[in-house]
Structure 1
């Protein structure tokens, strides 16, 4: 849980990108309520006065430091967290195994009057309402709108519509390993930290001054661990099993044979407020770069049909030169950061071969982060956007979108926390209209 920065939603003239039509600062008032739901500590993402920073992890003009918040295993699943509240809400109906297949539109008003859902068993559900909200994720939300448009002979959004275009994701790539020359100090720098019982993960972000200087998008670096078959991996699997109400006795046996490591882990967790990572486990540097919006990157309806007889989603997408420049910019800054902070004396970086050779494209080795966004983008002009600042469709005002698909740009962080804040924002808009 970490928000997209306000600067990433502001105008970026060096990229020719206008500001988002809403100020992300408006969403900040929802942060504490969401944090309470997930049981994480409130407070800033830049750290707090009582947060024990090491000198080497301070912000400088090479990279900014922020700290993501991570819910515990027990609080990661919304269906578990909200199950009691959902059951008690007499005004709420939940239908599972029901895929929306048809849309009923009014020719007179242009509004959506109803939807029809079906399942593979042949059952049909008709829902009629005054207002509809699509909150099905970027890809499926876009597919549903494309199906609605096709059912109306492409008259809703128009042939020149931006619907489905500007698909974007974050691109992820391992760029270096951290040599644990001084294992204990390296652990202090990069292992997960705990502040008020909340796990905090390090984000090293490309400052906006650097983005403007290099004319690139945003990017951040985080540290991952190669757990392999270590006792930590076994402990993680055991905890995840308990979340599913499953208990692995074999895992317990493995842990019992590693009591020394578990004792150290308990000491670090309680006394030092950090995860203990044994010296044989490698830290690796992962780079995550913002993909800039491109018209050619798009979701469309495929000629292939699913088992309900509906077109599947088709994705035409590839990384581009702009992402390569972003990768190269943050790699250069990361090297500067390591030197300025003295980390190169404690835990030098072992760069991957491609990072040292400018003739080897990094984007060809990168993978998508599964953070899709952008294909029902938000804006004030119906010619260049699908929804307005109130998240309602320009073309069908009683249909609203709550999804990362409305993000005009991908920004500097994974989208989940911003999506949740946007859901609260939309709920206030909807209740205000009522």
Structure 2
């Protein structure tokens, strides 16, 4: 860091330094490190912590602050001409911890078969094997303080679970997601004590990346410029950059980098921004609670080894192959908004966000009977108590398959920094409709086979009951965006390689669900965390480095690595000779 800039630390420890760009004495600060991470969310902090523990200096640049800021949050606004995507502002958050500050915390791995070739869907296998990622499983669970144990099989052995959720069903597989407690959801809160001991981490808050500095001769990114609303700026130079800013923002940043190169950096890549996908969810039925206590026993959240376990009822591989459809899973949602139980939940969420509403505390205190009964169910029955007045909704989430027309590009409209916003062209398709219909059919059969149709029958929604009413018309995104910087081995058909480095700008890596070729039927965060740790270890182990960008062959026009060009030519790697 340039000594003349004298930044003010807002968090002073004997190790980690956290700076607030708005508190700079001068208008500009400069900092240099071997590594720069863009984004201090789950992926960015896990990566930075890993490499810093091994003695490498890393700078983390974060747009948000330690707590929610509405002006910063407004930077998540996108252009959505069709007004179809509803989760740009409700599923993404900037700041220390990123979206984990509001995250529900559902942790479950992607199914292995969902990363393999699925010829019945014309989907190729992922270019990386997922088995090696399993080595990070236990470490992540320890960070979030959830219990160990499997996600499937005889996970929960009580009589009710064994009776109504058979392990070997032909159509539906019951898995049990792990959910951290509210206080253990925010990754920065969990890692803060450990991070503050690391002298080689430097975190900048209120620093939104607005500009990219390119070494055009080498075809590499040499620096970034981040700004705040007052015009102060931070310039960071680094050997390597890791973008960990969530799917939509990560894609926008790569598009901005391409624009900075006069659209030459990714000129050989056809797919940057393409194949955007999200899980689609729809309420397909209400569960009849004719026996409130029994339905509570069947569907109430379980607690195993002090960890909440949520039902994740997904289409088996056999069912998917038989119907030639994508993955889907069902879960039970509870309508807590108008219940006193809702105040208890809001109070817990407030503790997670460090923003406790005194009214929630007061309302909870007025319902001590409910609190006592909840405690009985929680500690003796190891389940959440769900009052009879609360409706149980059966939700289905469908995997949205990659679709060329669903894409992100730079909009004509600009944000408060004068930088183009992301514009999203996105809509569900008939392929998604078929996945929903398959899931509904198999759920109906499952209800009969398990006997649940006799004790808690499903009251299907009109669209679920009538094929003439498209389910996708009212389905909404789950805030699990992915796919728009997909990984692959062909630089023309993928943005990053199996090593998560950009084919076109190889000193830039991406760790985000945006690299997922397909979404599968699991919440993406668990897999993102594994990729972040794997990328850090690959860097530390000295994975082979691709020093230069891919350039068009002078002879054939095909894409080749720069070290294969027969003779050195004085040229701009991001442009013409």
Taking structure 2 as the reference length, the TM-score comes to: 0.73
* Offset of residue 255 of structure 1: 3.5
State the partner residue of 1:12. Answer: 118
CA displacement 1:336-380 (0-9 Å, x = unmatched)? 000000001110000001111101110011011111100110011
Instruction: Choose between structure 1 and 2 for higher RCO, CA contacts under 8 A separated by at least 6 residues.
Output: 1
CA displacement 1:220-272 (0-9 Å, x = unmatched)? 00001111322211111222233444555544443444333322221111111
Greater Cα offset, 40-49 or 17-26: 40-49
Does structure 1 residue 33 correspond to structure 2 residue 142?
no
Does structure 1 residue 57 correspond to structure 2 residue 168?
no
Which one of 486, 492, 495 corresponds to residue 377 of structure 1? 486
Superposed, 1:22-421 pairs within 5 Å as 22-48=128-154, 51-52=157-158, 53-59=161-167, 60-158=169-267, 161-245=270-354, 247-421=356-530
Distance 1:246 1:428, change over 3 A: closer
Tell me, what secondary structure is at the counterpart of 1:355?
Answer: helix
Distance 1:294 1:231, change over 3 A: same
CA displacement 1:252-310 (0-9 Å, x = unmatched)? 44344433332222111111111111112111101100000011100000000111111
Contact 1:101-1:117 within 8 A present in 2 as well: yes
Alpha-carbon distance between aligned partners in 2 of 1:255 and 1:77, rounded to the nearest angstrom = 24
Contact 2:269-2:493 within 8 A present in 1 as well: no
Contact 1:54-1:189 within 8 A present in 2 as well: no
Contact 1:6-1:23 within 8 A present in 2 as well: no
Distance 1:170 1:244, change over 3 A: closer
Please list every run of 5 or more consecutive structure 2 residues that lacks an aligned counterpart in the other structure. 1-106, 544-577
Tell me, what secondary structure is at the counterpart of 1:325?
Answer: helix
Q: Alignment RMSD, CA only?
A: 1.5
Contact 2:173-2:313 within 8 A present in 1 as well: yes
* Count of aligned pairs: 434
Distance 1:252 1:323, change over 3 A: same
Alpha-carbon distance between aligned partners in 2 of 1:260 and 1:89, rounded to the nearest angstrom = 47
Alpha-carbon distance between aligned partners in 2 of 1:134 and 1:144, rounded to the nearest angstrom = 8
Taking structure 1 as the reference length, the TM-score comes to: 0.97
Contact 1:305-1:311 within 8 A present in 2 as well: yes
